[in-house]
Amino acid sequence: MQTPTPRTRVIREPQRGVYDKETAYAILDEGFICHVGFVADAQPFVIPTSYGRVNDTLYIHGSAASRMLRNLDKGIAVCVTVTLLDGLVLARSIFNHSMNYRSVVVLGTAAVVTDPAEKLEALRRISEHIIPGRWVDSRLPTEKELKATSVLRLPIEEFSAKVRQGGPIDDEEDYTFPTWSGVIPLEMTAGEPVNDDRLLPGQTVPSYALRYTRKR
């Protein structure tokens, strides 16, 4: 169990705070879009991007020309968040409506990956995190493409997770209010793959695309 820092301890609804790596890593491994928050020139920015996890490290994908990469490689503090939405919770009162969710916040200082071998491996990990099996089926990046792409390394050291599960919680006097109350479950599902118009003859949909899922 990770001991929360004053910055990562959950203040509002503290009973939802979770501080063990197993829970946090399961959330990170199921999601594939993170939001990276940072301040540049006194202006806050939050940038969505893809990522991958390797043990206790997050690798964050970006363009070498992006504002995020131009600033984060200077050692600016970041806040990375990942959120999974599991359901809409409909209470009897509007005030007590909620959502079931799982989220992770990671704080720290990210560094640009400069070693070519680590960078290529990080890109492979990000690709495999999004859709396992695709890396070996694709053309690998050229030197020009690698130069145009940057990868950030962020140690997962200061973090917390927050989880809300279950049904609505109403005020006692509202349980007699005559309206439906409950949970609408939500989940991400993949549709049937659609062939590209210029697909070469004989190319069939690979199994990892036919059976794609975010469940791990």
Instruction: Give residue 108's pLDDT.
Output: 94
Per DSSP, the three-state class of 202 is coil
Query: In this structure, what DSSP letter does residue 213 have?
Result: -
| Cα–Cα dist 24/58, whole Å | 12
Tens digit of each residue's pLDDT (9 = 90 or more) over 145-175 = 998 898 999 999 999 999 999 999 999 999 9
Tens digit of each residue's pLDDT (9 = 90 or more) over 96-145 = 999 999 999 999 999 889 899 999 999 999 999 999 999 999 999 999 99
What pTM, to 2 d.p., does this model score? 0.90
Spatial neighbors of 152 by CB under 8 A, at least 6 apart, are 59, 60, 62, 69, 72, 73, 110, 111, 112, 113
Contact 87, 100 (CB under 8 A): yes
Strand bridging mode 98-109 / 158-164: antiparallel
Segments making up each domain of the chain, as ranges: 14-210
Contact 67, 91 (CB under 8 A): no
Tens digit of each residue's pLDDT (9 = 90 or more) over 14-55 = 777 788 899 999 999 999 999 999 888 888 999 999 999 999
Strand bridging mode 33-40 / 43-54: antiparallel
47 sits in which H/E element: strand 43-54
The per-residue pLDDT of the chain, averaged, comes to 91
pLDDT confidence band for 4 (50 / 70 / 90): confident
Instruction: Give the bridge partners for 85, in sequence order.
Output: 101
pLDDT confidence band for 73 (50 / 70 / 90): low
Domain 14-210 belongs to what architecture? Roll (2.30)
